[in-house]
Structure 1
Amino acid sequence: MRLVVPLSPFEQFEINPIFSINTSFAFTNSSLFALIAVLSLVFFFYLATYKSSIVPNAWQSALESVYEFISGMVYGQIGSKGYKYLPLIFTTFTFILACNMLGMVPYSFTVTSHLVITLGLAMSIFIGVNIIAANQHGLHFFSFFLPQGISLALAPFLVLIEIISYLFRVVSLAVRLFANMMSGHALLKILAGFSWTMSSKGGLIAVASIIPLAIVFALTGLELAIAFLQAYVFAILVCIYLNDAIHLH
Protein backbone atom coordinates (compact mmCIF):
# COMPACT_ATOMS: atom_id res chain seq x y z
CA MET A 1 0.00 0.00 0.00
CA ARG A 2 1.43 3.36 -1.02
CA LEU A 3 1.51 6.07 1.63
CA VAL A 4 0.45 9.47 0.31
CA VAL A 5 2.23 12.27 2.10
CA PRO A 6 0.06 15.42 2.30
CA LEU A 7 1.52 18.57 0.82
CA SER A 8 2.77 21.22 3.18
CA PRO A 9 0.42 24.22 3.55
CA PHE A 10 3.45 26.42 2.83
CA GLU A 11 4.16 24.92 -0.59
CA GLN A 12 1.75 27.44 -2.10
CA PHE A 13 4.21 30.21 -1.19
CA GLU A 14 7.22 28.73 -2.98
CA ILE A 15 8.75 30.99 -5.62
CA ASN A 16 9.65 29.00 -8.73
CA PRO A 17 11.41 30.37 -11.83
CA ILE A 18 9.47 30.16 -15.09
CA PHE A 19 12.44 31.12 -17.24
CA SER A 20 15.79 32.70 -16.57
CA ILE A 21 18.48 34.59 -18.46
CA ASN A 22 21.89 33.38 -17.31
CA THR A 23 22.01 33.74 -13.52
CA SER A 24 21.23 37.45 -13.31
CA PHE A 25 17.52 37.45 -14.14
CA ALA A 26 14.67 35.04 -13.47
CA PHE A 27 11.00 35.50 -14.29
CA THR A 28 9.17 33.69 -11.46
CA ASN A 29 5.61 32.78 -10.63
CA SER A 30 5.57 35.80 -8.32
CA SER A 31 6.57 38.05 -11.22
CA LEU A 32 3.92 36.45 -13.43
CA PHE A 33 1.04 37.05 -11.03
CA ALA A 34 2.22 40.58 -10.25
CA LEU A 35 2.11 41.20 -14.02
CA ILE A 36 -1.34 39.59 -14.24
CA ALA A 37 -2.54 41.89 -11.44
CA VAL A 38 -1.26 44.97 -13.29
CA LEU A 39 -2.77 43.84 -16.61
CA SER A 40 -6.08 43.12 -14.87
CA LEU A 41 -6.12 46.67 -13.51
CA VAL A 42 -5.29 48.10 -16.94
CA PHE A 43 -8.11 46.09 -18.49
CA PHE A 44 -10.50 47.21 -15.75
CA PHE A 45 -9.56 50.88 -16.26
CA TYR A 46 -10.01 50.44 -20.01
CA LEU A 47 -13.51 49.00 -19.58
CA ALA A 48 -14.40 51.80 -17.16
CA THR A 49 -13.11 54.69 -19.28
CA TYR A 50 -13.92 53.41 -22.78
CA LYS A 51 -16.97 55.30 -24.03
CA SER A 52 -17.51 56.90 -20.62
CA SER A 53 -20.63 58.99 -20.30
CA ILE A 54 -22.56 61.16 -17.86
CA VAL A 55 -24.76 58.17 -17.11
CA PRO A 56 -22.10 55.61 -16.14
CA ASN A 57 -22.17 51.93 -16.94
CA ALA A 58 -21.34 49.28 -14.35
CA TRP A 59 -17.57 49.42 -14.92
CA GLN A 60 -17.48 53.20 -14.83
CA SER A 61 -19.57 53.26 -11.65
CA ALA A 62 -17.18 50.80 -9.99
CA LEU A 63 -14.12 52.87 -10.91
CA GLU A 64 -15.76 56.12 -9.81
CA SER A 65 -16.70 54.52 -6.49
CA VAL A 66 -13.10 53.42 -5.88
CA TYR A 67 -11.83 56.87 -6.85
CA GLU A 68 -14.28 58.65 -4.55
CA PHE A 69 -13.41 56.26 -1.73
CA ILE A 70 -9.67 56.90 -2.05
CA SER A 71 -10.19 60.62 -2.62
CA GLY A 72 -12.25 60.90 0.55
CA MET A 73 -9.65 58.97 2.50
CA VAL A 74 -6.84 61.23 1.27
CA TYR A 75 -8.77 64.41 2.07
CA GLY A 76 -9.80 63.10 5.49
CA GLN A 77 -6.24 62.17 6.49
CA ILE A 78 -4.11 64.82 4.78
CA GLY A 79 -6.42 67.63 3.72
CA SER A 80 -6.37 69.58 0.48
CA LYS A 81 -2.56 69.38 0.29
CA GLY A 82 -2.85 65.63 -0.11
CA TYR A 83 -4.59 65.73 -3.49
CA LYS A 84 -1.28 65.96 -5.33
CA TYR A 85 -0.41 62.55 -3.87
CA LEU A 86 -3.75 61.00 -4.81
CA PRO A 87 -2.28 59.06 -7.80
CA LEU A 88 0.26 57.43 -5.46
CA ILE A 89 -2.37 56.36 -2.92
CA PHE A 90 -4.79 55.23 -5.62
CA THR A 91 -2.14 53.13 -7.40
CA THR A 92 -0.90 51.61 -4.14
CA PHE A 93 -4.39 50.65 -3.00
CA THR A 94 -5.55 49.18 -6.31
CA PHE A 95 -2.34 47.20 -6.88
CA ILE A 96 -2.37 45.64 -3.40
CA LEU A 97 -6.10 44.92 -3.69
CA ALA A 98 -5.63 43.28 -7.11
CA CYS A 99 -2.77 41.10 -5.80
CA ASN A 100 -4.77 40.12 -2.72
CA MET A 101 -7.91 39.25 -4.70
CA LEU A 102 -5.97 37.40 -7.37
CA GLY A 103 -4.43 35.26 -4.64
CA MET A 104 -7.91 34.04 -3.70
CA VAL A 105 -8.33 32.34 -7.08
CA PRO A 106 -7.60 28.58 -6.81
CA TYR A 107 -4.17 27.51 -8.09
CA SER A 108 -3.00 31.12 -8.29
CA PHE A 109 -0.18 32.79 -6.36
CA THR A 110 -0.50 35.45 -3.66
CA VAL A 111 2.16 38.06 -4.44
CA THR A 112 1.62 39.94 -1.17
CA SER A 113 2.19 36.80 0.92
CA HIS A 114 5.95 37.32 0.57
CA LEU A 115 7.84 39.64 2.88
CA VAL A 116 10.28 40.68 0.15
CA ILE A 117 7.38 42.12 -1.89
CA THR A 118 5.66 43.94 0.95
CA LEU A 119 9.00 45.15 2.32
CA GLY A 120 9.91 46.50 -1.11
CA LEU A 121 6.61 48.39 -1.29
CA ALA A 122 6.98 49.72 2.25
CA MET A 123 10.60 50.76 1.76
CA SER A 124 9.83 52.56 -1.51
CA ILE A 125 7.02 54.50 0.11
CA PHE A 126 9.12 55.25 3.20
CA ILE A 127 11.93 56.69 1.08
CA GLY A 128 9.46 58.74 -0.94
CA VAL A 129 7.80 60.13 2.19
CA ASN A 130 11.18 61.19 3.58
CA ILE A 131 12.08 62.89 0.31
CA ILE A 132 8.80 64.81 0.47
CA ALA A 133 9.44 65.77 4.10
CA ALA A 134 12.99 66.94 3.35
CA ASN A 135 11.77 68.94 0.37
CA GLN A 136 8.98 70.55 2.39
CA HIS A 137 10.84 71.39 5.60
CA GLY A 138 14.58 70.98 5.07
CA LEU A 139 16.52 70.55 8.31
CA HIS A 140 13.43 71.56 10.30
CA PHE A 141 12.14 68.04 9.60
CA PHE A 142 14.41 66.71 12.38
CA SER A 143 12.27 68.58 14.92
CA PHE A 144 9.73 65.80 14.30
CA PHE A 145 11.85 63.54 16.53
CA LEU A 146 11.95 65.99 19.45
CA PRO A 147 8.62 66.32 21.28
CA GLN A 148 7.83 69.79 22.55
CA GLY A 149 8.08 70.67 26.22
CA ILE A 150 10.54 67.99 27.35
CA SER A 151 13.60 68.55 29.50
CA LEU A 152 17.10 68.43 28.03
CA ALA A 153 17.96 65.48 30.27
CA LEU A 154 15.25 63.31 28.70
CA ALA A 155 15.77 64.59 25.15
CA PRO A 156 18.44 62.02 24.06
CA PHE A 157 16.33 59.08 25.22
CA LEU A 158 13.09 60.35 23.69
CA VAL A 159 14.80 61.23 20.40
CA LEU A 160 16.22 57.69 20.22
CA ILE A 161 12.77 56.21 20.92
CA GLU A 162 11.17 58.46 18.29
CA ILE A 163 13.77 57.50 15.67
CA ILE A 164 13.31 53.78 16.36
CA SER A 165 9.53 54.18 16.21
CA TYR A 166 9.83 56.12 12.96
CA LEU A 167 12.05 53.52 11.31
CA PHE A 168 9.78 50.74 12.52
CA ARG A 169 7.07 52.08 10.20
CA VAL A 170 8.69 50.17 7.36
CA VAL A 171 8.53 46.89 9.28
CA SER A 172 4.99 47.60 10.44
CA LEU A 173 3.73 48.25 6.90
CA ALA A 174 5.47 45.22 5.44
CA VAL A 175 4.83 42.62 8.14
CA ARG A 176 1.16 43.48 8.65
CA LEU A 177 0.27 42.84 5.02
CA PHE A 178 2.55 39.83 4.58
CA ALA A 179 1.54 38.11 7.82
CA ASN A 180 -2.20 38.51 7.28
CA MET A 181 -2.13 37.19 3.74
CA MET A 182 0.22 34.27 4.45
CA SER A 183 -1.48 33.12 7.64
CA GLY A 184 -4.95 33.24 6.12
CA HIS A 185 -3.99 31.21 3.06
CA ALA A 186 -2.04 28.70 5.15
CA LEU A 187 -5.04 28.20 7.45
CA LEU A 188 -7.33 27.60 4.47
CA LYS A 189 -4.91 25.00 3.08
CA ILE A 190 -4.63 23.23 6.44
CA LEU A 191 -8.40 23.00 6.90
CA ALA A 192 -8.98 21.94 3.30
CA GLY A 193 -6.35 19.21 3.65
CA PHE A 194 -7.89 18.12 6.93
CA SER A 195 -11.31 17.85 5.28
CA TRP A 196 -9.88 15.86 2.37
CA THR A 197 -8.09 13.45 4.70
CA MET A 198 -11.27 12.87 6.72
CA SER A 199 -13.39 12.30 3.61
CA SER A 200 -10.96 9.65 2.35
CA LYS A 201 -11.37 7.58 5.56
CA GLY A 202 -15.00 6.71 4.92
CA GLY A 203 -17.80 6.10 7.39
CA LEU A 204 -18.70 8.63 10.06
CA ILE A 205 -15.34 10.35 9.68
CA ALA A 206 -16.16 11.11 6.04
CA VAL A 207 -19.50 12.58 7.09
CA ALA A 208 -17.77 14.69 9.73
CA SER A 209 -15.48 16.13 7.04
CA ILE A 210 -18.34 18.50 6.21
CA ILE A 211 -17.48 20.50 9.35
CA PRO A 212 -13.96 21.62 8.33
CA LEU A 213 -15.22 22.08 4.75
CA ALA A 214 -17.93 24.45 6.00
CA ILE A 215 -15.29 26.33 8.00
CA VAL A 216 -13.21 26.65 4.81
CA PHE A 217 -16.14 28.27 3.00
CA ALA A 218 -16.73 30.65 5.90
CA LEU A 219 -13.03 31.56 6.12
CA THR A 220 -12.92 32.15 2.36
CA GLY A 221 -15.50 34.90 2.78
CA LEU A 222 -13.50 36.28 5.68
CA GLU A 223 -10.30 36.18 3.60
CA LEU A 224 -11.98 38.19 0.85
CA ALA A 225 -12.87 40.84 3.42
CA ILE A 226 -9.31 40.77 4.81
CA ALA A 227 -7.91 41.15 1.27
CA PHE A 228 -9.79 44.45 0.96
CA LEU A 229 -9.12 45.50 4.54
CA GLN A 230 -5.35 45.02 4.26
CA ALA A 231 -5.20 47.11 1.09
CA TYR A 232 -7.20 49.80 2.88
CA VAL A 233 -5.01 49.69 6.00
CA PHE A 234 -1.83 49.92 3.90
CA ALA A 235 -3.21 52.90 1.97
CA ILE A 236 -4.49 54.77 5.01
CA LEU A 237 -1.18 54.31 6.85
CA VAL A 238 0.60 55.79 3.84
CA CYS A 239 -1.80 58.75 4.11
CA ILE A 240 -0.96 59.14 7.80
CA TYR A 241 2.77 59.05 7.10
CA LEU A 242 2.37 61.61 4.32
CA ASN A 243 0.38 63.81 6.69
CA ASP A 244 3.23 63.65 9.22
CA ALA A 245 5.73 64.52 6.49
CA ILE A 246 3.70 67.50 5.23
CA HIS A 247 2.48 68.93 8.53
CA LEU A 248 5.13 67.54 10.94
CA HIS A 249 2.50 66.15 13.31
Structure 2
Amino acid sequence: MTFHSPFEQFEIIPIIPISIGGLNISFTNSSLFMMIVVVFITSIYISSLYDAKLIPTEWQSMVELSYLFILSLIKEQIGHVGYKYLPIIFTTFIFLLSCNLLGMIPYTFTVTSHIIVTFGLALSIFIGIQIIAGMHHGLHFFSFFLPQGAPLALSPFLVLIEIISYVFRVFSLAIRLFANMMSGHTLLKILAGFSWTMLSVGGALYIVSIVPLIIIFALTGLEISIAFLQAYVFTILICIYLNDSIHLH
Protein backbone atom coordinates (compact mmCIF):
# COMPACT_ATOMS: atom_id res chain seq x y z
CA MET A 1 0.00 0.00 0.00
CA THR A 2 1.38 3.40 -0.99
CA PHE A 3 0.95 6.35 1.34
CA HIS A 4 1.15 9.90 0.03
CA SER A 5 1.88 12.94 2.13
CA PRO A 6 -0.99 15.47 2.31
CA PHE A 7 1.61 18.13 1.52
CA GLU A 8 2.42 16.67 -1.90
CA GLN A 9 -0.42 18.72 -3.39
CA PHE A 10 1.53 21.92 -2.59
CA GLU A 11 4.75 20.85 -4.33
CA ILE A 12 5.92 23.28 -7.01
CA ILE A 13 7.04 21.33 -10.08
CA PRO A 14 9.06 22.93 -12.91
CA ILE A 15 7.34 22.41 -16.26
CA ILE A 16 9.81 24.38 -18.39
CA PRO A 17 13.15 24.64 -16.52
CA ILE A 18 14.74 28.06 -17.10
CA SER A 19 17.91 29.28 -15.41
CA ILE A 20 19.66 32.56 -16.15
CA GLY A 21 22.93 33.27 -14.37
CA GLY A 22 22.10 30.85 -11.59
CA LEU A 23 18.66 32.42 -11.12
CA ASN A 24 15.84 29.90 -11.40
CA ILE A 25 12.92 31.42 -13.30
CA SER A 26 11.36 28.15 -14.42
CA PHE A 27 7.78 27.98 -15.65
CA THR A 28 6.11 25.87 -12.95
CA ASN A 29 2.72 24.37 -12.21
CA SER A 30 2.05 27.46 -10.08
CA SER A 31 2.78 29.70 -13.08
CA LEU A 32 0.58 27.52 -15.27
CA PHE A 33 -2.46 27.76 -13.00
CA MET A 34 -2.03 31.50 -12.53
CA MET A 35 -2.01 31.81 -16.31
CA ILE A 36 -5.12 29.62 -16.53
CA VAL A 37 -6.88 31.87 -14.03
CA VAL A 38 -5.96 35.03 -15.96
CA VAL A 39 -7.09 33.54 -19.29
CA PHE A 40 -10.32 32.25 -17.71
CA ILE A 41 -11.20 35.60 -16.11
CA THR A 42 -10.38 37.54 -19.27
CA SER A 43 -12.43 35.18 -21.43
CA ILE A 44 -15.45 35.29 -19.11
CA TYR A 45 -15.55 39.08 -18.86
CA ILE A 46 -14.88 39.74 -22.54
CA SER A 47 -17.48 37.22 -23.72
CA SER A 48 -20.04 38.44 -21.18
CA LEU A 49 -19.67 42.14 -21.99
CA TYR A 50 -18.77 41.99 -25.69
CA ASP A 51 -22.41 42.20 -26.74
CA ALA A 52 -23.95 43.64 -23.57
CA LYS A 53 -27.73 43.95 -23.62
CA LEU A 54 -30.21 46.12 -21.76
CA ILE A 55 -31.77 42.93 -20.40
CA PRO A 56 -28.67 41.07 -19.30
CA THR A 57 -27.99 37.39 -19.78
CA GLU A 58 -27.05 35.15 -16.84
CA TRP A 59 -23.32 35.64 -17.41
CA GLN A 60 -23.70 39.39 -17.94
CA SER A 61 -25.70 39.64 -14.71
CA MET A 62 -23.01 37.75 -12.82
CA VAL A 63 -20.28 40.06 -14.16
CA GLU A 64 -22.28 43.20 -13.38
CA LEU A 65 -23.11 41.99 -9.87
CA SER A 66 -19.46 41.29 -9.12
CA TYR A 67 -18.60 44.79 -10.34
CA LEU A 68 -21.33 46.40 -8.21
CA PHE A 69 -20.29 44.32 -5.20
CA ILE A 70 -16.74 45.71 -5.24
CA LEU A 71 -18.01 49.19 -6.09
CA SER A 72 -20.26 49.23 -3.02
CA LEU A 73 -17.39 47.90 -0.90
CA ILE A 74 -15.15 50.76 -2.01
CA LYS A 75 -17.91 53.31 -1.38
CA GLU A 76 -18.46 52.03 2.17
CA GLN A 77 -14.79 51.78 3.13
CA ILE A 78 -13.12 54.64 1.22
CA GLY A 79 -15.82 56.86 -0.25
CA HIS A 80 -16.14 58.34 -3.72
CA VAL A 81 -12.44 59.20 -3.82
CA GLY A 82 -11.71 55.48 -3.90
CA TYR A 83 -13.48 54.88 -7.21
CA LYS A 84 -10.29 55.64 -9.13
CA TYR A 85 -8.73 52.55 -7.51
CA LEU A 86 -11.58 50.27 -8.57
CA PRO A 87 -9.59 48.46 -11.32
CA ILE A 88 -6.81 47.20 -9.03
CA ILE A 89 -9.17 46.32 -6.15
CA PHE A 90 -11.64 44.57 -8.44
CA THR A 91 -8.89 42.65 -10.26
CA THR A 92 -7.33 41.53 -6.97
CA PHE A 93 -10.64 40.21 -5.65
CA ILE A 94 -11.56 38.32 -8.82
CA PHE A 95 -8.05 36.89 -9.19
CA LEU A 96 -7.91 35.62 -5.59
CA LEU A 97 -11.44 34.22 -5.72
CA SER A 98 -10.74 32.40 -8.98
CA CYS A 99 -7.44 30.97 -7.66
CA ASN A 100 -9.15 29.80 -4.46
CA LEU A 101 -12.05 28.16 -6.29
CA LEU A 102 -9.84 26.58 -8.96
CA GLY A 103 -7.85 24.91 -6.20
CA MET A 104 -11.02 23.10 -5.07
CA ILE A 105 -11.09 21.07 -8.28
CA PRO A 106 -9.33 17.69 -7.92
CA TYR A 107 -5.88 17.40 -9.52
CA THR A 108 -5.47 21.17 -9.80
CA PHE A 109 -3.07 23.42 -7.92
CA THR A 110 -3.98 26.01 -5.28
CA VAL A 111 -1.83 29.03 -6.05
CA THR A 112 -2.87 30.93 -2.92
CA SER A 113 -1.69 28.08 -0.66
CA HIS A 114 1.91 29.32 -1.09
CA ILE A 115 3.21 32.12 1.11
CA ILE A 116 5.49 33.44 -1.65
CA VAL A 117 2.45 34.19 -3.84
CA THR A 118 0.32 35.79 -1.13
CA PHE A 119 3.27 37.72 0.32
CA GLY A 120 4.35 38.98 -3.11
CA LEU A 121 0.82 40.20 -3.81
CA ALA A 122 0.43 41.78 -0.36
CA LEU A 123 3.83 43.50 -0.56
CA SER A 124 3.14 44.90 -4.03
CA ILE A 125 -0.19 46.34 -2.90
CA PHE A 126 1.36 47.69 0.31
CA ILE A 127 4.06 49.53 -1.65
CA GLY A 128 1.39 50.95 -3.95
CA ILE A 129 -0.59 52.21 -0.96
CA GLN A 130 2.51 54.00 0.39
CA ILE A 131 2.99 55.70 -2.96
CA ILE A 132 -0.65 56.84 -2.89
CA ALA A 133 -0.21 58.12 0.67
CA GLY A 134 2.87 60.09 -0.39
CA MET A 135 1.01 61.60 -3.33
CA HIS A 136 -1.86 62.73 -1.09
CA HIS A 137 -0.01 63.95 2.00
CA GLY A 138 3.73 64.09 1.38
CA LEU A 139 5.76 64.10 4.57
CA HIS A 140 2.63 64.87 6.57
CA PHE A 141 1.76 61.18 6.21
CA PHE A 142 4.23 60.39 9.02
CA SER A 143 1.82 62.04 11.46
CA PHE A 144 -0.22 58.86 11.06
CA PHE A 145 2.23 57.10 13.37
CA LEU A 146 1.75 59.51 16.28
CA PRO A 147 -1.72 59.30 17.88
CA GLN A 148 -3.32 62.64 18.63
CA GLY A 149 -3.11 63.74 22.26
CA ALA A 150 -0.29 61.32 23.07
CA PRO A 151 2.24 62.52 25.69
CA LEU A 152 5.39 63.87 24.06
CA ALA A 153 7.62 61.79 26.34
CA LEU A 154 6.03 58.58 25.08
CA SER A 155 6.07 59.59 21.43
CA PRO A 156 9.27 57.65 20.49
CA PHE A 157 7.82 54.41 21.85
CA LEU A 158 4.39 55.03 20.36
CA VAL A 159 5.84 55.84 16.94
CA LEU A 160 7.96 52.67 17.01
CA ILE A 161 4.98 50.53 17.98
CA GLU A 162 2.79 52.13 15.31
CA ILE A 163 5.42 51.61 12.61
CA ILE A 164 5.89 47.94 13.54
CA SER A 165 2.12 47.44 13.59
CA TYR A 166 1.80 49.20 10.24
CA VAL A 167 4.51 47.12 8.56
CA PHE A 168 3.04 43.89 9.89
CA ARG A 169 -0.07 44.56 7.82
CA VAL A 170 1.81 42.97 4.92
CA PHE A 171 2.43 39.78 6.90
CA SER A 172 -1.13 39.62 8.22
CA LEU A 173 -2.55 39.91 4.71
CA ALA A 174 -0.22 37.23 3.33
CA ILE A 175 -0.33 34.74 6.22
CA ARG A 176 -4.11 34.88 6.70
CA LEU A 177 -4.84 33.87 3.11
CA PHE A 178 -2.00 31.35 2.84
CA ALA A 179 -2.74 29.64 6.17
CA ASN A 180 -6.47 29.26 5.59
CA MET A 181 -6.11 27.80 2.11
CA MET A 182 -3.26 25.47 3.03
CA SER A 183 -4.83 24.15 6.24
CA GLY A 184 -8.19 23.49 4.61
CA HIS A 185 -6.73 21.57 1.68
CA THR A 186 -4.42 19.62 3.98
CA LEU A 187 -7.33 18.56 6.18
CA LEU A 188 -9.34 17.39 3.16
CA LYS A 189 -6.39 15.35 1.90
CA ILE A 190 -5.83 13.75 5.31
CA LEU A 191 -9.49 12.75 5.61
CA ALA A 192 -9.53 11.44 2.03
CA GLY A 193 -6.43 9.32 2.73
CA PHE A 194 -7.94 8.09 5.98
CA SER A 195 -11.14 7.05 4.19
CA TRP A 196 -9.19 5.31 1.42
CA THR A 197 -7.12 3.38 3.96
CA MET A 198 -10.27 2.15 5.69
CA LEU A 199 -11.75 1.08 2.35
CA SER A 200 -8.55 -0.81 1.51
CA VAL A 201 -8.55 -2.70 4.81
CA GLY A 202 -12.11 -3.91 4.26
CA GLY A 203 -14.30 -5.68 6.78
CA ALA A 204 -16.13 -3.50 9.28
CA LEU A 205 -13.90 -0.56 8.40
CA TYR A 206 -15.34 -0.66 4.87
CA ILE A 207 -18.69 0.44 6.28
CA VAL A 208 -17.22 2.90 8.79
CA SER A 209 -15.26 4.60 5.98
CA ILE A 210 -18.43 6.43 4.96
CA VAL A 211 -18.03 8.66 8.03
CA PRO A 212 -14.91 10.51 6.83
CA LEU A 213 -16.48 10.69 3.36
CA ILE A 214 -19.48 12.55 4.78
CA ILE A 215 -17.14 14.85 6.68
CA ILE A 216 -15.22 15.51 3.44
CA PHE A 217 -18.41 16.54 1.63
CA ALA A 218 -19.35 18.87 4.48
CA LEU A 219 -15.85 20.36 4.62
CA THR A 220 -15.81 20.86 0.86
CA GLY A 221 -18.83 23.12 1.15
CA LEU A 222 -17.12 24.95 4.00
CA GLU A 223 -13.92 25.32 1.97
CA ILE A 224 -15.86 26.87 -0.92
CA SER A 225 -17.29 29.41 1.53
CA ILE A 226 -13.81 30.06 2.92
CA ALA A 227 -12.48 30.54 -0.63
CA PHE A 228 -14.92 33.42 -1.09
CA LEU A 229 -14.49 34.73 2.45
CA GLN A 230 -10.69 34.92 2.25
CA ALA A 231 -10.81 36.79 -1.07
CA TYR A 232 -13.35 39.16 0.49
CA VAL A 233 -11.30 39.70 3.67
CA PHE A 234 -8.13 40.34 1.65
CA THR A 235 -10.00 42.90 -0.47
CA ILE A 236 -11.73 44.70 2.37
CA LEU A 237 -8.44 45.01 4.26
CA ILE A 238 -6.89 46.59 1.17
CA CYS A 239 -9.76 49.10 1.16
CA ILE A 240 -9.26 49.84 4.87
CA TYR A 241 -5.50 50.34 4.45
CA LEU A 242 -6.10 52.51 1.40
CA ASN A 243 -8.62 54.56 3.35
CA ASP A 244 -6.01 55.11 6.09
CA SER A 245 -3.46 56.29 3.55
CA ILE A 246 -5.90 58.74 1.96
CA HIS A 247 -7.69 60.11 5.03
CA LEU A 248 -5.00 59.44 7.69
CA HIS A 249 -7.45 57.69 10.03
Q: TM-score range by the shorter chain?
A: over 0.9
What CA distance in whole angstroms lies between the structure 2 residues aligned with 1:184 and 1:226? Answer: 9
- Structure 1 pair 157/22, CA: closer, same or farther in 2 (3 Å)? closer
Name 1:127's counterpart in structure 2: 127
Q: CA deviation at 1:50?
A: 2.1
Q: CA deviation at 1:22?
A: 3.6
Name 2:44's counterpart in structure 1: 44
Q: CA deviation at 1:47?
A: 2.2
Report the more deviating stretch, 171-180 or 153-162: 153-162
**Are 1:207 and 2:204 an aligned pair?**
no
1:15-60 deviations in Å (ceiling 9; x for gaps): 0000123454200000000000001101110221121110000110
1:46 partner SS: helix
Q: CA RMSD in A?
A: 0.8
What CA distance in whole angstroms lies between the structure 1 residues aligned with 2:84 and 2:102? Answer: 29
Amino acid at match of 2:5: S
Unaligned runs of 5+ in 2: none
1:111-140 deviations in Å (ceiling 9; x for gaps): 000000000000000000000001100000
Q: CA deviation at 1:162?
A: 0.3
Residue in structure 1 matching 2:8, options 11, 29, 43: 11
Name 1:176's counterpart in structure 2: 176
Name 1:144's counterpart in structure 2: 144
What CA distance in whole angstroms lies between the structure 2 residues aligned with 1:22 and 1:49? Answer: 40
1:93-152 deviations in Å (ceiling 9; x for gaps): 000001001101100000000000000000000000000001100000000000000111
Name 2:94's counterpart in structure 1: 94
Name 2:82's counterpart in structure 1: 82
1:18 partner SS: strand
2:106 partner SS: coil
What CA distance in whole angstroms lies between the structure 1 residues aligned with 2:198 and 2:46? Answer: 46
Q: CA deviation at 1:170?
A: 0.2
What CA distance in whole angstroms lies between the structure 2 residues aligned with 1:104 and 1:48? Answer: 24
TM-score normalised to structure 2 length: 0.97
1:198-225 deviations in Å (ceiling 9; x for gaps): 0111111110000000000000000000
Q: CA deviation at 1:192?
A: 0.4
2:70 partner SS: helix
What CA distance in whole angstroms lies between the structure 2 residues aligned with 1:19 and 1:43? Answer: 25
What CA distance in whole angstroms lies between the structure 2 residues aligned with 1:197 and 1:47? Answer: 45
Q: How does 1:15-30 map to 2 (within 5 A)?
A: 15-23=12-20, 24=23, 25-30=25-30
Count of residue correspondences? 246
Unaligned runs of 5+ in 1: none
What CA distance in whole angstroms lies between the structure 1 residues aligned with 2:19 and 2:171? Answer: 33
Report the more deviating stretch, 93-102 or 43-52: 43-52
Greater than 3 Å deviation, 4+ residue runs: none
Q: How does 1:161-240 map to 2 (within 5 A)?
A: 161-240=161-240
Q: CA deviation at 1:231?
A: 0.4
Report the more deviating stretch, 21-30 or 214-223: 21-30
Name 1:104's counterpart in structure 2: 104
